[in-house]
Chain A
Amino acid sequence: NAGVTQTPKFRVLKTGQSMTLLCAQDMNHEYMYWYRQDPGMGLRLIHYSVGEGTTAKGEVPDGYNVSRLKKQNFLLGLESAAPSQTSVYFCASSRGGTDTQYFGPGTRLTVL
């Protein structure tokens, strides 16, 4: 099992560009999450999904959209990137809401 994988690992964008981050899990987990991690800020939840076809807002959802068309994939989109979105993005998945969350290796995004 690969666990949770994230694509790409690194990306540099210019302000105003758009991109999609892909998260995939092979553990048949129902719940999936997107977090961002900034220096000195810990991890903050952006959006999450409790099942295929469902999404919900987390603590810092503005400027991001998500989709969960397939159970194993959770996509995070930036429609118009801003420098404030420079961060490391982590995806996680869990079997249920109170079960262990398994994290991917992260995507380092820089917006110039």
Chain B
Amino acid sequence: TQLLEQSPQFLSIQEGENLTVYCNSSSVFSSLQWYRQEPGEGPVLLVTVVTGGEVKKLKRLTFQFGDARKDSSLHITAAQPGDTGLYLCAVQPLYGGSQGNLIFGKGTKLSVKP
């Protein structure tokens, strides 16, 4: 059973469109992280959300943590080709989480065509 379910698995859109990707779980987490991974590179942290209902913005990216801290969404406004990549969500388990052992979702592969 996958702890984190990300959807959609693949997304191909045109430049300028808006999109939302999701990270869902049946478990409650103290925090949730979003990463972006470009081809041939390692993941890079975009944001950490901590409080239920929290909304964080990073330029055209808006991240929201669900009220119950079980799910999160990432919304991109006016997508650009530079947004292309694999978007991963990750959490630390409730037990032993202070050791840094992250659990990742399978990711959403986004392709933005010019």
Is A101 part of the binding interface, using a Cβ–Cβ cutoff of 8 Å?
yes
A65 vs chain B, min Cβ distance (A): 18
Choice from B88, B98, B104, B106 contacting A98 with Cβ under 8 Å: B98
Residues of B3-57 whose CB lies within 8 A of A? 9, 31, 40-45, 48
Is B97 part of the binding interface, using a Cβ–Cβ cutoff of 8 Å?
yes
Consensus secondary structure, chain B interface: loop
B43 contacts A48, C-beta separation under 8 Å: no
Is B1 part of the binding interface, using a Cβ–Cβ cutoff of 8 Å?
no
B-chain residues with CB within 8 Å of residue A40 when the two chains form the complex: 9, 106
B99 contacts A50, C-beta separation under 8 Å: yes
Complex-state Cα separation, A65 to B92, whole angstroms? 23
Is B66 part of the binding interface, using a Cβ–Cβ cutoff of 8 Å?
no
Q: Mark A48-79, 1 if CB is under 8 A from B, else 0.
A: 10100000101100000000000000000000
A-chain residues with CB within 8 Å of residue B106 when the two chains form the complex: 40-42
A-chain residues with CB within 8 Å of residue B103 when the two chains form the complex: 45, 59
B104 contacts A42, C-beta separation under 8 Å: yes
B-chain residues with CB within 8 Å of residue A94 when the two chains form the complex: 100
B-chain residues with CB within 8 Å of residue A8 when the two chains form the complex: none
B-chain residues with CB within 8 Å of residue A56 when the two chains form the complex: 99
Complex-state Cα separation, A87 to B67, whole angstroms? 36
The chain A residues found within 8 Å of chain B, CB to CB, are 4, 31, 33, 35, 40-45, 48, 50, 56, 58-59, 90, 92, 94, 96-101, 103-106
The chain B residues found within 8 Å of chain A, CB to CB, are 9, 31, 40-45, 48, 88, 90, 92, 97-107
